[in-house]
Structure 1
Amino acid sequence: MKRAITLAAFGFAALANIASAGGHLPNLEGREVVVVTENAYPPLQFVEPGTGNAIGWEYDAVAEIAKRINATITYENISWDAMIPAVSSGQFDMGMTGITIREDRKEKVDFSDKYMTSEMVMMVRGDEERFSDAKSFAANDDLLMAAQPGTTPFYVGVYDVLDGNEANPRIQLMETFGATVQALRTGDVDLVLTDGTAGNGYVDASDGGLKIIGEKLGTEDFGFIFPKGSDLVEAMNAAIADMTADGTIEALNKKWFLDYKLGG
């Protein structure tokens, strides 16, 4: 179901003291931009427990972008594995779900400039003691990890943690990121790789049920995606740069990574 999103709908009033662009950014004259998301990657975008509202860092950021470039945002939902093909084929104007900027993906879609840099971490159950890093995980053939196919965590798991075999049965493939976390919590798998953004959100909400271990496995830049050749990229990049310069991005980071607690 399509939902027109307004600034007030996502409680963005906390950032209202930050000045808007004041006319020096592109003006889309109210143009509708249909954005597709998975709503499964807290705190970037997710369905809030208890309220059922779709909220998160990306929702707030896009609401602010829309205000600055005079666009009307409409949201639709889709699974991760269908998102890039759907945006590539022009079914949607833009996709957001913590998408890592990668050269192979640039062959199919255009990316905005990065709006966030995160680091890949190892998330395990809170009582995990059998392994403490990627090397000790790889050394124990009884241990399993879960990942969504085609995602950065999948490829990092294959090439940086395991043996480079994309068909390795130790990687259990699942349709959503939420399903991988649930499998971890129930003991069906032993490891989930995720960027630090989502990982810290899940750990903070787990009441000790989850933790982060080992060293970080590298960094990744997140961007919004668009059909190849989209004229929206320039406007989005201008707004992202403006929001970085005036402190809005920093304020969003504080709101969602320091102040907000998932589920409470």
Structure 2
Amino acid sequence: MNWLKTIIAATTLQMLAAGTASAGENLDAIKAAGTFKIGTEGTYAPFTYHDTDGKLVGFDVEIGESVAKKLGVKAEFLEGKWDGLIAGLGATRYDAVINQVGITEERKQKFDFSDPYIASKAVLIVRGDNEEIKGFADLKGKKSAQSLSSNFGKIAENAGASLVGTEGFDQSIQLVLNGRADSTINDSLSFLDFKKHKPDANVKIAAEEANADYSGIIIRKGDPELLAAINAALADIKADGTYKAIAEKYFGADVSK
């Protein structure tokens, strides 16, 4: 049995050594190829979508391009459906996924995340002339327009609101605007995007949750050199104003915190 233990131990060491080598080699391979392959949806505005000319654009797209530039290469985007994006990363179809992937403990068990590059909070949205609702506690007995199965709907319900079912953010906002609902609880990034396109819309944020959710660039485990390079690139684009310019373009505000 000792010979079997010896073989197993040797094999384990070889696998560990190979993993370490491939980690460094992956960053070298990216630089040698001159491309940083990024998985993304291409159907999730304003983060990753196609403009009227069919060009892939969006906040996440420009973040990916900026990170690639700091790595000294060009970004190459490979589009796919959300359900298959992370699986595609595991299957080595691309080097990273940049698609508003939330940083969760469950995902961190199988993949590595960069430092957060964007934050979002649950916000309470009301008409601009509503002075009655100033916080989540004021929702008791009020109507809140929500997707019934969403976490935002649960927050509204727990605050004592009765829910008016909708299919998503746009419909929820319209119900608030036309007075059929007193409020909606939704994502701060969606609200900023809405106000960017319709700055005169008569809605405002009455309150926001204290805790934010963060998204990061997700890569395979075992690539510490690549992870460090991506984090350095993110720090650089924040320091040199690139990040701020991209955030202002798509949201009209800094969305990193």
TM-score where L is the length of structure 2: 0.63
Is the counterpart of residue 226 in structure 1 residue 219 in structure 2? yes
How far did 1:28 drift? 1.8
- Where in structure 2 are the equivalents of 1:1-264 lying within 5 Å? 28-29=31-32, 30-42=34-46, 44-48=47-51, 50-88=52-90, 90-123=92-125, 133-137=135-139, 139-140=141-142, 143-146=144-147, 154-155=150-151, 157-158=153-154, 160-163=155-158, 180-185=168-173, 187=175, 191-195=184-188, 197-206=189-198, 208-209=200-201, 211-217=203-209, 218-230=211-223, 232-258=226-252
Letter of the 1:58 counterpart: D
| 2:124–2:208 CA contact under 8 A, matched in 1 | yes
- CA–CA distance in structure 1, aligned partners of residues 84 and 130 of structure 2: 33
Amino acid at match of 1:45: T
- Does the C-alpha gap of structure 1 residues 32 and 84 become closer, same or farther in structure 2, counting only changes over 3 Å? closer
Q: Equivalent pairs: percent with the same residue?
A: 22
More helix by share: 2
1:226 deviation in Å? 1.9
How far apart are the structure 1 equivalents of 2:43 and 2:121? 20
Aligned AA (2:214): D
What's the secondary structure of 2:115's corresponding residue? coil
Task: Give the Cα–Cα distance (whole angstroms) in 2 for the partners of residues 51 and 230 of structure 1.
Answer: 36
* Shift of residue 85, structure 1, vs aligned partner: 4.5
**Contact 1:37–1:95 at 8 Å: present in 2 too?**
no
Shift of 1:81: 4.8
After superposition, the Cα gap between the structure-2 partners of 1:84 and 1:127, relative to the gap in structure 1 and judged at 3 Å, is farther
What secondary structure is seen at the aligned counterpart in 2 of 1:110?
Answer: strand
Give the match's secondary structure for 1:251: helix
**TM-score normalized with structure 1 length:** 0.62
Aligned CA-pair RMSD: 3.9
Residues 65, 240 of structure 1: 8 Å contact kept: yes
User: Which residue identity does 1:182 align to in structure 2?
Assistant: D
1:145 deviation in Å? 0.9
Q: Distance in 2 between matches of 1:52 and 1:122?
A: 34
* Residues 57 and 256 in structure 1, CA contact (< 8 A), matched pair in contact too: yes
Cα deviations by residue, 1:230-255 (Å, 9 ceiling, x for unpaired): 45322211211222233322333344
Bigger radius of gyration among the two: 2
CA distance 1:32–1:207, shift in 2 (3 Å): closer
3-state SS of paired residue (1:74):
strand
SS at match of 2:31: coil
Q: Cα 1:32–1:45, aligned 2, differ >3 Å: closer, same or farther?
A: closer
